[in-house]
Amino acid sequence: MGFLEPLQIFFMSIVGLVANPVNILILFGSVIMGIIFGATPGLTATLGVALLTTLTYGMDVSTAMVALMGIYVGGVYGGSYTAVLVNIPGTAASAATALDGYPLARKGQAGRALGLTTTASAIGTVIGMVFVVMLSPVISALALEFTSFEFFLLALFGIVISGTLTSQDLVYKGWIAGLIGLFLATIGRDSLQFFPRYTFGMSELEGGLDLVPVLIGAFGIPQIMQTIRDNFKISETSEFKKILPEWKTIGKNIPTILRSSLIGVGIGAVPGIGEDIAGWVSYGTAKKASKHPEEFGKGAVEAVIATETANNSCIGGAMIPLLNLGIPGSPPAAMLLGAFMLHGIQPGPMLNIDRPTFVLEITAILLLASIAMWVSGIFLSKQVVKVLKVPTSLFMPIIAVLCVIGSYALGMRVFNLYLMLPIGILAYFLSEMKYPIAPLIIGVILGDMCDQNLRRALMVSQGSFMPVFQRPVSLVLILVIAILIAGQIPAFQRFQVRVKEGVVSLFKKKEKSADNA
């Protein structure tokens, strides 16, 4: 493909989607649904994507993707509503937004704050989309050079890094969650010798665990249990007359937007990390770079823009490894992977060969979703906020039913429900004990990739691990994994500190000698 051909496909995709009024209706409907899911504490973009996946079963691929990307984009942005209006982030992705969004609302600038979050989110999504277009061909071409060892190490890296970065307590709790996920992935007949592993003689387990019920169980059930347990209620929301796009303020903060977008895309591209970490990292970086860091936490416009740009640009970032390597960059992207598979799309290096226009179609949908999100955010926010008045004790049981029917409908197996609930209860207790759930899910998703590629690689090398050290990509991956693991060993940490001190003192000596000279 030349330069013009992708552009042509991109615009043709947009025209094709916009030409169909049903697509526009579905796009706006799913974006608004996403905003509601994002804005309602206890519901998340991940759960939204999971539940909508069931409803897209009968749709054609393009329409299904419009619906799923719409709810994803809306869901990540929607969290900012409650973050700004009631100081309760609707999703973890908007936790950092609450720090300055709510003080702005308290100053009587709720409309302005929401205008900023809306516009920043839309810009973030578009920038993320640009990165998907730019990086996909490069990563895809690189991935085609990968051998089984690289794929095995890539999967292992995904599990280790998501475990390392998402753990709120001890880092190895994240790794334990990842290993539990890997174990769940080994259930069923293995794909090379068809030997039944951990099936207990049950024919229902021979095909392995269906991904969607596991995801709904792990993300949906704990949230329902936690929300009902805490008897969560939204108090009075801050009043606002209308939402203003605030172009002038956005224009003043272009460096912040660009920096936050890069952070969002970068963090999104790391497997299993997600939008919440992007928001926090962006917030911290914006504070460090700001000329007035003392204003942060008191209603700094810069902070609101930074967090919302980052968490929405993270969507594009998460799509990069998902589309090109088959490795989800965030929990909602993990759910999207299940949806892709349901519609017969196998993400990975072969995607650009099997479906050369698919990535461009997805980016076109992302652009449309960001426009729909902006329009909905500016014009329909007042109506969306009304939904927040529905008591969670009425709302959550309905979500529970949707989780159940969603898990059942995709495989049409009641057995999926028998699995979903124990996994959900396990996930609830794990999250209560500060075990992150994202690595568990990444483990389930990448388990088969790990197993197949490790054995295939060793089959080719006759049981030798030497090729790992002879290929640059696998060598880099194994070194990164080793450093991540060793980084948790106290002796290694002390060694790192000593090295750092040594390097610093060496520089200081050089500076002194230069000054003396």
DSSP string, 375-409: HHHHHHHHHHHHHTTS-HHHHHHHHHHHHHHHHHH
Least Å distance between CB 197 and another protein?
A: 6
Least Å distance between CB 44 and another protein?
A: 18
3-state secondary structure 418-451: HHHHHHHHHHHHHHHCCCCCHHHHHHHHHHHHHH
Residue indicated by tokens 């017969």: 344
Least Å distance between CB 384 and another protein?
A: 21
- Which tokens sit at 317? 């970032």
The helix (H) or strand (E) run that includes residue 369 is helix 358-387
> What residue ranges bind another protein (CB under 8 A)?
54-55, 57-58, 169-170, 172-173, 175-176, 179-180, 182-183, 186, 190, 192-195, 197-198, 221, 224-225, 228-231, 391, 393-394, 397-398, 400-402, 404-405, 408-409, 412, 414, 417-418, 420-421, 424-425, 428, 432-434, 447, 450-451, 454-455, 458-459, 462-463
Smaller CB separation from another protein, 230 or 354: 230
- Which tokens sit at 161? 């890094």
Least Å distance between CB 274 and another protein?
A: 22
Smaller CB separation from another protein, 369 or 420: 420
Q: How many residues does the chain have?
A: 517
Least Å distance between CB 180 and another protein?
A: 8
Smaller CB separation from another protein, 224 or 281: 224
- What is the Cα–Cα distance from 304 to 113, expressed in whole angstroms? 8
Smaller CB separation from another protein, 458 or 484: 458
Least Å distance between CB 405 and another protein?
A: 6
Least Å distance between CB 334 and another protein?
A: 20
Smaller CB separation from another protein, 183 or 492: 183
Smaller CB separation from another protein, 142 or 480: 480
Least Å distance between CB 230 and another protein?
A: 7
- What is the Cα–Cα distance from 470 to 485, expressed in whole angstroms? 22
Smaller CB separation from another protein, 120 or 205: 205
Smaller CB separation from another protein, 2 or 490: 490
Evaluate whether 423 touches 217 at the Cβ level (below 8 Å).
yes
Smaller CB separation from another protein, 454 or 475: 454
- What is the Cα–Cα distance from 440 to 7, expressed in whole angstroms? 38
Locate all alpha helices (DSSP H) within 144-274, ordered by sequence: 148-166, 171-186, 211-229, 247-252, 254-269
Evaluate whether 332 touches 46 at the Cβ level (below 8 Å).
yes
Cβ burial of 290 (10 Å; 0-12, 13-18, 19+) is middle
- Which tokens sit at 170? 């001890």
Least Å distance between CB 97 and another protein?
A: 26
b/e map 462-478, b = 16+ CB within 10 Å = eeeeebbeebebbeebb
